[in-house]
Amino acid sequence: MTVDPKLWWYVARASGVTAMVLASSSVVWGVALSSRLTRRPRPAWVLDLHRYLGGLTVTFVGVHLGGLVADNFTHWGLSDLFVPLATNWHPIPVAFGIVGFYLLIAVEITSLLMKRLPRRVWYAIHLSSYGLWVLAMVHSFTSGTDRHAAWFLATLAIPGLAVVVITLFRWFTRGSERRPRKRAGTHTPAPA
């Protein structure tokens, strides 16, 4: 039995698409967590699912990179994968992916260290998830060999639209979610 010589190229393509769908799902779930779409107090599994989706995204990005290195057709070296503009294969779109990868690593590491970081630092880095998502989408739609295929466009457009819709919902409802501040001089009696 012969193994298809393009096996690793297929692995790289499939894992890249899977990573993008997972990243979109993680963003959607994260925005839902930070909005009034989820009830409060939330069960622990709600936050765990968001973390799990983020971890799976990192895993599939790793498989994507490994598939590119293992592929004998395209010949990707480490500098092609980790240094922006170092590759000859669509250097600008690939650079978007590389910068997105570094943001993904920063978001994941700071999420794992969240309890040890000042909340403002963690939050600022976590907000870069929006930029990471945009960079990854640009990378997906401009560098991949499947970027013109209908299945590819549908596979990424549907979760992409979900990210845009829930982000706009969050943006336009964020003022209504804030707790009203107490006026100076008012006192709330302690419960009996």
Give tens-digit pLDDT for 133-174. 999 999 999 998 888 899 999 999 999 999 999 999 888 887
- Residue 162, domain member (yes or no): yes
Q: What does the pLDDT average to over 111-120?
A: 94
Assign 32 a pLDDT band (cuts: 50, 70, 90). confident
The whole-number pLDDT of residue 176 equals 57
Burial status of residue 101 (CB atoms within 10 A of its CB: 0-12, 13-18, 19 or more): buried
Would you say residue 118 has pLDDT above 60? Answer: yes
Q: How far apart are the C-alpha atoms of 145 and 148, rounded to whole Å?
A: 8
pTM above 0.95, yes or no: no
Angstrom CA distances, 128 to 38, 39, 121, stand at 22, 25, 11
pLDDT tier at 177, thresholds 50, 70, 90: low
Residue 24 lies in a domain: yes
Confirm whether 189 is domain-assigned. no
Q: Which residues contact 182 (CB under 8 A, 6 or more apart)?
A: 188
Phi/psi region, residue 189 (left: phi>0; alpha: psi -120 to 50; beta: rest), is beta
Average pLDDT of the chain to the nearest whole number:
87
Q: Whole domain around residue 127: which residue ranges?
A: 7-173
49 falls within a domain: yes
Query: Considering the domain boundaries, does residue 71 fall inside one?
Result: yes
pLDDT band, residue 180 (cuts 50/70/90): very low
DSSP letters spanning 20-49: HHHHHHHHHHHHHHTSTTS-SSPPHHHHHH
Confidence at residue 47, expressed as pLDDT on a 0 to 100 scale: 86
Q: Is 85 domain-assigned? A: yes
The total number of structural domains that make up the chain: 1
